[in-house]
């Protein structure tokens, strides 16, 4: 099968490929079930010798036999004619990560639907998943769920999150994932070309990459719920967005990279993210934020995005702290709280390398946060390396220097 991992992202997620494949099952005492493409399989599929080739059948068996079980999936592309339904506590895990195992919806069905449970889905490429509403790759509805170490490529949905959608979820975590060339929406509706959170108790997004995702909605008259957001949409959900890279995403309405709407009194934090080369046909090429006062963007780089109005960010009354931004139009009080407008000096933007050069004004220019203790950046390096965090998704390691890990 094709491995959908360009050079810019392979290094970024290498540490997580190793970490999650080793730790996913630690402490799990329940039964493990096995899936392999070329094995006839014998129920209950509890060894590689009896592994089943029908991933839906094996998942169903694992759930029928109790909670907290694991389904371990070998290499191959699993072409789906129906969605996989997860309604019990379950870990669905590939053996060798997303470069080796794919779930293919064949442009006809959603790959996975999750409800009434809090499963872990880890280590797959999701491709050609399709749904009319909520998640061509994965839908999480009225439930909790964790999606880690996955790639979402070429999925499509008419509304809400072509790659992943959390809808009325109790909690949703997406970590160490890549979303690219997913497409959301028609001319009249749709939120989130790559990922969407709607009415969730908590949205957690960290160490992810979004590029060339699209939201095709052009309707600006139907309220905040139909305003596009090419990479990620967060709607009426408190959120934590950390260490993410957004580039070359596109919205035919607002928010090329990331969009927030209808937040009310809910709080959201965008920390140490990089937005570059995203486009919107209306407002906020990099970030769009509206109808709330409790969103804070910190330590982020918002550079060379494009929109007719507010090219980099349309922030309403949001706070911008210790950020690097090129276009300050539309940003409230951009020149306070440690913000800068100097060129961030990426390593090689033309080759999509958005790490920082040693002389970047973004190096050691952020503000440290409690969550950074023992955290890592998008390359798996210590998030604070020289005492003060850098702006953007990557820490700069000086040549020949010794990094002090916190």
Dump the DSSP string for 211-249. ES-EE-----SS-GGGSB-SSEEEES--EEEES-EEES-
CA quadruple 354, 357, 361, 362: dihedral positive or negative? positive
What local confidence, expressed as pLDDT, does residue 334 receive?
Answer: 72
Give the end-to-end CA distance of the chain in Å, rounded to a whole number: 39
d(CA 185, CA 229): 10
CA distances to 35, 56, 63, 77, 319 from 40, rounded to whole Å, are 10, 14, 20, 16, 57
Question: Could you count the other beta carbons within 10 Å of the beta carbon of residue 382?
Answer: 18
d(CA 324, CA 391): 7
Q: Which of 81, 34, 36, 79 is nearest to 61 (CA)?
A: 34
What local confidence, expressed as pLDDT, does residue 1 receive?
Answer: 38
Burial-class residue 65 by CB neighbours within 10 Å (0-12, 13-18, 19+).
Answer: middle
Q: Which of 170, 174, 72, 83 is nearest to 133 (CA)?
A: 83
Tens place of pLDDT for every residue, the chain, 406 residues?
A: 344 444 344 444 444 443 434 334 444 458 999 999 988 888 889 999 999 999 999 999 999 998 899 999 999 999 999 999 999 999 999 999 999 999 999 999 999 999 988 899 999 999 999 999 899 999 999 889 999 999 999 999 988 899 999 999 988 999 999 999 999 977 566 688 999 999 999 999 999 999 999 998 776 654 544 567 899 999 889 999 999 999 999 999 899 999 988 777 888 999 999 999 999 999 899 999 876 557 889 999 999 999 998 999 987 666 889 999 998 887 776 777 889 999 999 999 999 999 999 999 999 999 999 999 999 999 999 999 889 999 999 999 876 444 443 3
Q: How many CA atoms lie within 13 A of 171 on its CB side?
A: 9
245 beta partners: 209, 274
Map tokens 């023992």 to a residue: 374
The answer to whether 388 and 362 are in contact (CB under 8 A) is no
Question: Could you count the other beta carbons within 10 Å of the beta carbon of residue 352?
Answer: 19
Q: Which of 170, 95, 106 is nearest to 136 (CA)?
A: 106
User: What predicted TM-score, i.e. pTM, was given to this entire model?
Assistant: 0.90
What local confidence, expressed as pLDDT, does residue 399 receive?
Answer: 64
Torsion on CA atoms 269, 170, 292, 239, rounded to nearest 10: 10
Q: Which of 126, 75, 123, 130 is nearest to 108 (CA)?
A: 130
């Amino acid at each position: 099968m094709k491995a959908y991992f360009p050079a810019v992202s392979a290094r970024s997620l290498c540490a997580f490929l190793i970490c999650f494949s080793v730790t996913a099952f630690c402490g799990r005492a329940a039964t493990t079930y096995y899936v392999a493409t070329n094995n006839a399989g014998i129920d209950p599929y509890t060894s590689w010798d009896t592994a089943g080739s029908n991933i839906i059948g094996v998942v169903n068996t694992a759930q029928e036999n109790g909670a907290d079980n694991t389904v371990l999936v070998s290499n191959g592309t699993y072409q789906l004619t129906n969605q996989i339904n997860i309604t019990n506590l379950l870990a669905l895990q590939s053996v060798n990560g997303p470069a080796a195992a794919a779930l293919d919806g064949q442009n006809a069905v959603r790959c996975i639907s999750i409800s009434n449970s809090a499963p872990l889905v880890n280590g797959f490429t999701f491709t050609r998943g399709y749904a009319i509403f909520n998640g061509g790759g994965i839908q999480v509805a009225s439930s909790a769920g964790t999606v880690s170490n996955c790639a979402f490529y070429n999925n499509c949905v008419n509304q809400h999150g072509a790659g992943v959608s959390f809808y009325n979820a109790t909690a949703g975590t997406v970590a160490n994932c890549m979303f690219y060339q997913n497409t959301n929406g028609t001319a009249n509706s749709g939120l989130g070309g790559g990922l969407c959170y709607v009415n969730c108790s908590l949205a957690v997004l960290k160490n992810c990459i979004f590029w060339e995702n699209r939201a095709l909605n052009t309707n600006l008259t139907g309220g905040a719920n139909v305003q596009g957001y090419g990479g990620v949409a967060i709607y009426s959900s408190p959120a934590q967005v950390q260490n993410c890279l957004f580039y070359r995403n596109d919205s035919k309405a607002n928010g090329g990279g990331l969009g927030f709407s209808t937040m009310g009194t809910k709080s959201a934090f965008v920390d140490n993210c990089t937005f570059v080369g995203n486009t919107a046909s209306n407002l906020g090429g990099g970030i769009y934020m509206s109808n709330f006062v409790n969103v804070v963007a910190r330590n982020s780089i918002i550079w060379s995005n494009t929109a007719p109005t507010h090219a980099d960010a349309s922030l309403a009354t949001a706070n911008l702290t210790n950020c690097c931004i090129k276009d300050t139009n539309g940003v409230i009080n951009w020149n306070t709280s440690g913000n800068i407008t100097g060129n961030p000096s990426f390593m090689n933007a033309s080759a999509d390398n958005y790490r920082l050069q040693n002389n970047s004004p973004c190096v050691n220019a952020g503000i440290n946060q409690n969550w950074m203790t023992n955290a890592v950046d998008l390359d798996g390096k210590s998030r604070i390396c020289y005492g003060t965090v850098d702006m953007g998704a990557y820490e700069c390691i000086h040549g020949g220097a010794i990094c002090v890990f916190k």
